[in-house]
Amino acid sequence: MNLTIKEEDFTNTFMKNEESFNTFRVTKVKRWNAKRLFKILFVTVFIVLAGGFSYYIFENFVFQKNRKINHIIKTSKYSTVGFNIENSYDRLMKTIKEHKLKNYIKESVKLFNKGLTKKSYLGSEFDNVELKDLANVLSFGEAKLGDNGQKFNFLFHTASSNVWVPSIKCTSESCESKNHYDSSKSKTYEKDDTPVKLTSKAGTISGIFSKDLVTIETHAGLIKEITI
């Protein structure tokens, strides 16, 4: 008895399975690409919205006051600059803390010789100085530099530890309509000549450090100033 085994032809089946697999793979890749593009689009939209919202908050609430101040400083004919008083006692104590005994003795001798330690000359903590309000944004008042009383209008705030004034040597356009500080006319002027530069939204200011007497109303004190 002869047995004959007929082999099945699986060619068509393999072809169908391969086509199905390829179709499934392509579909899966397309779906993955679509998800990826959606994620990228979502992140991009989120960043744009978050950035726009942050810009709105900062411009309209955080930096609104600074923009007004910068505009006033740019357009004002006055020397609207930073001003912070360092009285005689604080200056001496600061020198001691920095362990500069030699400088402390030197500064003390200068201070006593100039008579700036007299209470009647320095005033008291209960004295008042009249300031003018500008646009409910900043306050400014008059002060004098040097023993010859060179008048300037100063913006009083705590953002700077120095006094900024236009020097007689300033040749830029912004200095033309302002009062100028002339150190040669002041007997209390002390030469420093250390270069300094400050950059802000309103622009760039450069100059040199100097030391001179500053008088507000009837109160005076030696401070380190910057002439531009």
Q: What is the pLDDT of residues 100-156, one digit of tens each?
A: 555 555 666 666 665 555 544 455 566 667 777 777 777 778 888 888 888 888 777
The range of the structural domain enclosing residue 167 comes to 140-227
Residue 166 has pLDDT above 50, yes or no: yes
| 183 and 116 together in one domain | no
How far CA 218 is from CA of 42, 128, 155, 205, in Å, comes to 65, 10, 18, 30
Which pairing describes strands 203-216 and 190-200: parallel, antiparallel, or unpaired?
antiparallel
Q: How many CA atoms lie within 13 A of 24 on its CB side?
A: 6
Q: Coil, strand, or helix at residue 84? A: coil
pLDDT number for residue 108: 61
Does 22 fall in a domain? no
Q: Quick one: how far is CA 94 from the chain centroid?
A: 25
Does 15 fall in a domain? no
User: What is the chain's mean pLDDT, rounded?
Assistant: 68
| 68 and 99 together in one domain | no
pLDDT number for residue 54: 78
| 207 and 167 together in one domain | yes
Does 82 fall in a domain? no
| 113 and 159 together in one domain | no
Mean pLDDT value across residues 67-77: 63
| 191 and 144 together in one domain | yes
Q: Quick check: 150 and 144 in contact, CB under 8 A?
A: yes
| 147 and 222 together in one domain | yes
In terms of pLDDT, which residue wins out, 119 or 180? Answer: 180
Residue 83 has pLDDT above 50, yes or no: no
Does 3 fall in a domain? no
pLDDT number for residue 49: 85
Q: Coil, strand, or helix at residue 135? A: coil
Does 18 fall in a domain? no
pLDDT number for residue 195: 80
Amino acid letter, residue 167: S
Residue 211 has pLDDT above 50, yes or no: yes
| 119 and 190 together in one domain | no
Residue 14 has pLDDT above 50, yes or no: no
Does 4 fall in a domain? no
